[in-house]
């Protein structure tokens, strides 16, 4: 196995930090034991947790106004893979990459697969892109793609999705994620029902080309780039589309794609109930599709989402296996550092949700004891599980202190020398 950062450096840093970590871990273990929880079992759950990194997140995304590239940004998918390997080596919980096509398309996918294999990385959901025009493209997506009024544009968008499936097969992926920006900017510009009908017909055409062991995930987003109406604007349209399209077509929840204050955890519960929760794009948001680091603003919301996920697992809900991915953009941080932090914050929410006393919660719910029900969740959320996460990383030969170890490695400085052209590959503002 190949490591982008010297394993000796990681081991040396871990050795320095282990005595203090062990003390914190033992103290937490004692406290959890009093609550009937086993810290070893929780640590194993933390070790098993994994969340995919979006290939496009390894560069600085910028805003609609400007992009300020960082040094040593990856210039192609091979270099993005190397950065993803760093994130996984430091965090110990991001063993898969979610690629975006055609941004990440290559001539030789065998070579790309061999490149990721040597770092022990796999490939999760493949994302299609019919929200931008590419230089060699025959027809424009300016007025939409899968729902476009012109059948020829719709056919081109369907064909692209089928092509993405073919590329995904070569990488070993099993999920196609479809997000379209289709919609309108002016009242009257688009006939709501006809546009949705056209979208559904296109989605069904893609689904027909989906291998039997694949899922198709539809991602909703309230607005942007369309600012008046969007064809798949919310989870309502999303679940309707998923239900119409087929059993293996499910909804994907990107946390930033909802109106502020929307109860996302309840949306998650509904999707679980109807076997339509495909997966997540985790990030955080203050105003809209801000693509901020996970848990940086609303860690309690993220915990409450995981409370629903862990509850579904606890109830052994049939067909429950959502795909976890990050989807974020970076303007002012080193993307590697932000992605390490985000992965760890999502893992933290998962472990905290495992602490919830589910029997007590159910009893409080049945007794209409609102305050004790709420306190039961808070007791889990307020527990600092950092020693569990750090011990999981140590056990997996990842870094106890991920950011300090990454900085000490000088990886970014070396990348700056090896990658002098700081073009980045994410264009546009989505």
User: Footprint of ligand PSV on this chain (CB under 6 A)?
Assistant: 56, 127, 179, 219, 221, 254, 281, 289, 327, 430
For the beta carbon of residue 106, count every other beta carbon within 10 angstroms.
Answer: 18
Min dist CB 221 to ligand PSV, Å, is 6
Pairwise CA distance, residues 8 & 235, whole Å: 47
Please give the helix or strand (H or E) that residue 178 lies within, else none: strand 175-178
Please tell me whether residue 217 binds Mn ion under the rule CB under 5 A.
no
Footprint (CB under 5 A) of Mn ion, residues 238-267: 254
- The listed partner (ligand PSV, Mn ion, none) that binds 127, CB under 5 to 8 Å by sort, is ligand PSV
Residue 228 has phi, psi (to 5 degrees) of -105, -55
Please tell me whether residue 293 binds Mn ion under the rule CB under 5 A.
no
- The listed partner (ligand PSV, Mn ion, none) that binds 402, CB under 5 to 8 Å by sort, is none
Instruction: Between 179 and 303, name the residue whose CB sits nearer to ligand PSV.
Output: 179
Min dist CB 144 to Mn ion, Å, is 18
Please give the helix or strand (H or E) that residue 236 lies within, else none: helix 235-245
Instruction: Between 25 and 141, name the residue whose CB sits nearer to Mn ion.
Output: 141
Pairwise CA distance, residues 298 & 256, whole Å: 11
Min dist CB 423 to ligand PSV, Å, is 17
Inter-CA distances, 90 with 132, 242, 309, 412, 414, Å: 34, 36, 26, 14, 17
Pairwise CA distance, residues 218 & 225, whole Å: 17
Please tell me whether residue 281 binds Mn ion under the rule CB under 5 A.
yes
| Residues in the chain, total | 430
Min dist CB 66 to ligand PSV, Å, is 17
Pairwise CA distance, residues 70 & 207, whole Å: 39
Inter-CA distances, 158 with 48, 85, 139, 148, Å: 36, 32, 13, 11
Footprint (CB under 5 A) of Mn ion, residues 388-417: none
Min dist CB 219 to Mn ion, Å, is 6
Instruction: Between 326 and 400, name the residue whose CB sits nearer to ligand PSV.
Output: 326
Min dist CB 218 to Mn ion, Å, is 11
Residue 424 gets the label, from left (phi > 0), alpha (psi -120 to 50) or beta, of left
Min dist CB 220 to ligand PSV, Å, is 10
Instruction: Between 255 and 385, name the residue whose CB sits nearer to ligand PSV.
Output: 255
Instruction: Between 56 and 235, name the residue whose CB sits nearer to ligand PSV.
Output: 56
Please provide the distance, in angstroms rounded to a whole number, between the alpha carbons at the two ends of the chain.
35
Instruction: Between 288 and 299, name the residue whose CB sits nearer to ligand PSV.
Output: 288
Residue 211 gets the label, from left (phi > 0), alpha (psi -120 to 50) or beta, of beta
Contact segment (CB under 5 A) with Mn ion among 64-72, 82-90, 289-297, 332-340 equals 289-297
Binding site for Mn ion (CB under 5 A): 254, 281, 289, 327
């Amino acid at each position: 196995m190949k490591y982008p950062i010297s394993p000796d450096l990681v081991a040396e840093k871990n050795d320095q930090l282990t005595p203090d970590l062990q003390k914190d871990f033992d103290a937490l273990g004692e406290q959890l034991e009093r609550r009937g929880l086993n810290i070893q079992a929780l640590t194993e759950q933390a070790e098993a947790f994994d969340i995919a990194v979006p290939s496009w997140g390894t560069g600085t995304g910028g805003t609609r106004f400007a992009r300020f590239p960082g040094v040593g940004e990856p210039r192609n998918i091979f270099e993005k893979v190397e950065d993803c390997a760093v994130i996984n080596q430091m965090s110990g919980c991001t063993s898969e990459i979610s690629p975006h096509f055609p941004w990440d398309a290559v001539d030789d996918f065998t070579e790309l697969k061999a490149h990721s294999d040597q770092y022990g990385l796999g490939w999760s959901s493949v994302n299609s892109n019919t929200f931008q025009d590419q230089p060699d493209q025959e027809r424009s997506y300016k007025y939409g793609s899968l729902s476009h009024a012109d059948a020829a544009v719709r056919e081109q968008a369907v064909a692209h999705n089928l092509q993405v499936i073919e590329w995904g097969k070569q990488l070993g992926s099993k999920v196609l994620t479809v997000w379209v920006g289709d919609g309108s900017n002016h009242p009257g510009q688009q006939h709501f029902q006809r546009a949705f009908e056209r979208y559904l017909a296109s989605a069904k055409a893609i689904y027909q080309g989906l291998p039997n062991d694949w899922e198709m995930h539809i991602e909703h987003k309230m607005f942007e780039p369309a600012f008046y109406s969007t064809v798949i604007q919310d989870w309502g349209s999303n679940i309707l589309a998923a239900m119409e399209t087929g059993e293996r077509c499910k909804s994907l929840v990107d946390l930033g794609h909802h109106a502020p204050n929307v109860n996302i955890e309840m949306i998650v519960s509904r999707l679980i109930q109807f076997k339509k929760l495909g997966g997540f794009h985790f990030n955080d948001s203050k105003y809209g599709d801000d693509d901020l680091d996970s848990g940086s603003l609303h860690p309690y919301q993220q915990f409450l989402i995981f409370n629903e996920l862990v509850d579904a697992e606890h109830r052994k809900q049939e067909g429950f296996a959502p795909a976890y991915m990050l989807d974020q953009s970076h303007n002012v941080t080193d993307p590697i550092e932000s992605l390490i932090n985000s992965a760890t914050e999502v893992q933290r929410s998962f472990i905290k949700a495992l602490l919830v006393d589910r029997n007590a919660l159910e009893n409080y719910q049945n007794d209409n004891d609102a305050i004790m029900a709420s306190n039961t969740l808070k007791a889990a959320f307020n527990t600092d599980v950092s020693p569990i996460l750090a011990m999981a990383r140590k056990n997996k030969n990842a870094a106890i202190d991920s950011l300090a170890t990454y900085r000490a490695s000088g990886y970014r400085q070396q990348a700056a020398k090896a990658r002098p052209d700081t073009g980045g590959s994410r264009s546009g503002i989505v």
